[in-house]
Structure 1
Amino acid sequence: MDLFSFIDCSNRLQSLPALFELLVDCSSQEGFSQVAYGALNYNEPVRLPGHPMPAIAINFPSDWRKHYFERKYYERDPVVRRTPMLSKPFIWDHLLERKQLHPNERLVMEESREAGLKHGVSVPLFGPSGRISVLSFASLFDDVDPCRHISRLNVLAWQFHIAFAAIAEPAEPKRKRIELSDRERDCLRWTAEGKTASDIGLILNISENTVNFHVKKAGRKLGTTSRTVAVVKAIRLNLIDLPGRLDTSMPT
């Protein structure tokens, strides 16, 4: 399934189990079939049955989940600890390469590999009132390259996070419609197709600085400073129309 189809399908779902199943199906196509979504600094009443805090939805191997939660590994897990400090997706292997990793943190990462989670990518997710969540993707394969898939997994994570919020929270009063200029829509559309600001400038015959100006202005209207989130929200609100499939190398 391409990213545009994932966004379209997830927007129409009304249950967390169905939304999570869709996410797992899409991430499995990237070689990352193990997925965990957690709330780090708030309680989320909507969660899959039997999932203790901080997990909201998780399909990691059952033996590892039992081991992880019984020993309260989430209190020392470097993924959980580092997420509030980071703004971009990060790769688990890079955490292990850090010399300053505490021995207890290193133990969690090494045991997760022994449990079958060979490689992982985690995406920090932020919401209203300072809420922090994290969505992690893990692979059961030794030969998968997280760097090749991190951009696509980032988009999947943010769209899931936004779609989940629509399911979990009560309907809000209708907001004023967001209006994007033609230039803002053009810049977001080409961003969604994996083009850099320099590429877009050449296509639209404008400067790279002007492209960045329009993207940032569109982001402010959409309530985000992230190009990825701006694109996801614009597609979700039908503000941009994509004629073909989204490129897998969407920038962050």
Structure 2
Amino acid sequence: MDLFSFVECAKRTQSIKALFDLLVSCASEEGFSEVAYGALTFAEALRLPEYLPPAITVNFPPEWCDRYFERKYRVIDPVVRRTPMVSAPFLWDELAKQYQLQPGEQRVLDEAREAGLKHGMSVPLFGPLGRVSVVSFASPFDDVDPQDRMSHLSALAWQFHHAFAEIAQPKECGRDRVAALSEREKDCLRWVAEGKSSWEIGKILNVSENTVNFHMKNASRKLGAANRMHAVVKAIRLNLI
């Protein structure tokens, strides 16, 4: 399922569980059937009785979830600890290369892999007032390539996050009002939705890479988006592209 189809299905979804099931289904098509979504900063935790706290929605192996919460791994989980410090999706396997992980942090990653959570990746999701959430994807297979799927999974994560907010807190999430987008800004957004880089978009539109970045920056500002993928998601939901 492509991003546009996901958005249309998400728009018709009225329950958080159905929305999460949709995300799991789409991620599974990419080889990443293990998914978790949770808020890392919040005034009041939004929790559902059918899911383990503090995650809002999770379908990781039950045995791993039990072990994780019983041993309070959330306190030393490098994914939880590092997510607020990065601005882009990241691979769990790369954490040890980028940071000097403590023994406890490395143990969480090693045990997660043993539990069947292989080739994990996480997408930081930033909201107003410093709110931070995260969607994590993992695969039970050894031969998947998370780097190759990162762009699409990141887009799905942002869309899920946006749709979740509309269902969970409808009073705070009325229809967005944005300044009109230029045709060039819409063109750039459409190509970003197709997974194209700024350099590739520049070649397609016969403009410089800097010009593409300029249009994307303006579009993100008008849409009140945290990054270009968030901008694409909001533009699609508003039927602007």
Report the TM-score, using the length of structure 2 for normalisation: 0.93
After superposition, the Cα gap between the structure-2 partners of 1:204 and 1:135, relative to the gap in structure 1 and judged at 3 Å, is same
**Count of aligned positions:** 240
Cα shift readout 1:149-193 (whole Å, capped 9, x = no counterpart):
111111111110011011111334555454111121112112222
1:63-212 aligned within 5 A: 63-97=63-97, 100-172=100-172, 176-212=177-213
* Structure 2 letter corresponding to 1:39: A
Asked if residue 217 in structure 1 is aligned to residue 218 in structure 2, the reply is: yes
Alignment partner, residue 24 of structure 1 = 24
On the 8 A contact 2:3/2:193 being kept in 1, the answer is: no
Q: Aligned with 1:41: secondary structure?
A: coil
* Structure 2 letter corresponding to 1:149: R
Unaligned 5+ segments in structure 1 are 241-252
1:24-43 aligned within 5 A: 24-43=24-43
On the 8 A contact 2:91/2:122 being kept in 1, the answer is: yes
Cα shift readout 1:132-164 (whole Å, capped 9, x = no counterpart):
111100111111121111111111111100110
* Structure 2 letter corresponding to 1:196: S
After superposition, the Cα gap between the structure-2 partners of 1:44 and 1:10, relative to the gap in structure 1 and judged at 3 Å, is farther
After superposition, the Cα gap between the structure-2 partners of 1:73 and 1:174, relative to the gap in structure 1 and judged at 3 Å, is closer
- The RMSD of aligned alpha carbons is 1.8
Point out 4+ residue stretches in structure 1 off by more than 3 angstroms. 43-48, 96-99, 172-178
Question: Distance between the aligned counterparts of 1:99 and 1:132, measured in 2?
Answer: 20
* Structure 2 letter corresponding to 1:71: R
Question: Distance between the aligned counterparts of 1:63 and 1:9, measured in 2?
Answer: 31
Greater CA deviation, 193-202 or 111-120? 193-202
Question: Distance between the aligned counterparts of 1:131 and 1:209, measured in 2?
Answer: 30
- 1:42 offset after TM fit, Å? 1.3
Question: Distance between the aligned counterparts of 1:175 and 1:105, measured in 2?
Answer: 39
Question: Distance between the aligned counterparts of 1:163 and 1:33, measured in 2?
Answer: 20
Question: Distance between the aligned counterparts of 1:44 and 1:119, measured in 2?
Answer: 31
* Structure 1 letter corresponding to 2:113: R
Unaligned 5+ segments in structure 2 are none
Question: Distance between the aligned counterparts of 2:198 and 2:227, measured in 1?
Answer: 14
Question: Distance between the aligned counterparts of 1:204 and 1:96, measured in 2?
Answer: 39
On the 8 A contact 2:178/2:222 being kept in 1, the answer is: no
Identity over aligned residues, as a percent?
A: 64
Greater CA deviation, 222-231 or 58-67? 222-231
Greater CA deviation, 58-67 or 166-175? 166-175
Q: Aligned with 1:84: secondary structure?
A: helix
Greater CA deviation, 167-176 or 25-34? 167-176
Instruction: Report the structure, 1 or 2, having the larger helix content.
Output: 2
Report the TM-score, using the length of structure 1 for normalisation: 0.89
Q: Aligned with 1:133: secondary structure?
A: strand
